[in-house]
A and B are shown apart, each in its own frame.
Chain A
């Protein structure tokens, strides 16, 4: 099983700031990496797939990069609606696995 590790577990950011979230895989997942956003009480929302392709309707302030075992999600200018939990997910191998998530809180 591929273990996905996210860091940090939580961070406090001011609106308008840029923030970068990290995700590490225990072995290479090639570019088969997705990012999701989840707000309290809601289903996850797909942000990025294929490491760097934004899903339909996702604003350009969200971007993804990386390959192999190291990946990042960058939010260029945090908006109020962006304060949420973000998790990465690999789909290179079964079982499909998620990271534990990074909670982005308002500073």
Chain B
């Protein structure tokens, strides 16, 4: 059974940093693109970033370029999102999802709140 479990969310002040993790199991992690998608409270879904199987290609939404970094550790079956210079508008539930462009498998999400 495919499982994706996010962790690392929480309350952070504007300008602060947070690192999200996604632990994957039930499939060959190194064979799939992986993605982060977020959803602000009461709002729609927003794609954040995707990473290729070997980490050689990464794509980001413009609003996080230069502030967020997606990475992966295939030996640990884990996906990461390093978030720096956080802003109030980054407040959202962050989901990890399997595949790069269409997502049949999602985690349960982790809430990031950026507030002073």
Chain B interface size, as a band, is 10 to 19
Among listed B23-31, B40-48, B68-76, interface-contacting one:
B40-48
Q: Which residues of A contact B59 (CB under 8 A)?
A: 94-95
A101 CB to closest chain B CB, in angstroms? Answer: 5
The closest CB in chain B to the CB of A90 belongs to B101
The closest CB in chain B to the CB of A95 belongs to B61
Chain A interface size, as a band, is 20 to 34
* Count of inter-chain pairs, beta carbons less than 8 A: 46
**Contact at A95–B102, with CB atoms within 8 Å?**
no
**Contact at A98–B47, with CB atoms within 8 Å?**
yes
Given A43-B95, A43-B109, A44-B106, are A36 and B101 neighbors across the interface (CB < 8 Å)? no
B3 CB to closest chain A CB, in angstroms? Answer: 12
Q: Which residues of B contact A95 (CB under 8 A)?
A: 47, 59-62
Q: A21-42: which have CB < 8 Å to B?
A: 32, 34, 36, 38
Interface residues of B (CB under 8 A from A): 37, 44-47, 50, 59-62, 95, 101-104, 106-109
Besides the known contacts A43-B108, A46-B103, A100-B44, 12 further A-B residue pairs in the complex with CB atoms under 8 A apart:
A38-B45, A44-B103, A44-B106, A46-B104, A49-B102, A87-B44, A89-B45, A91-B101, A95-B59, A96-B101, A98-B45, A98-B47
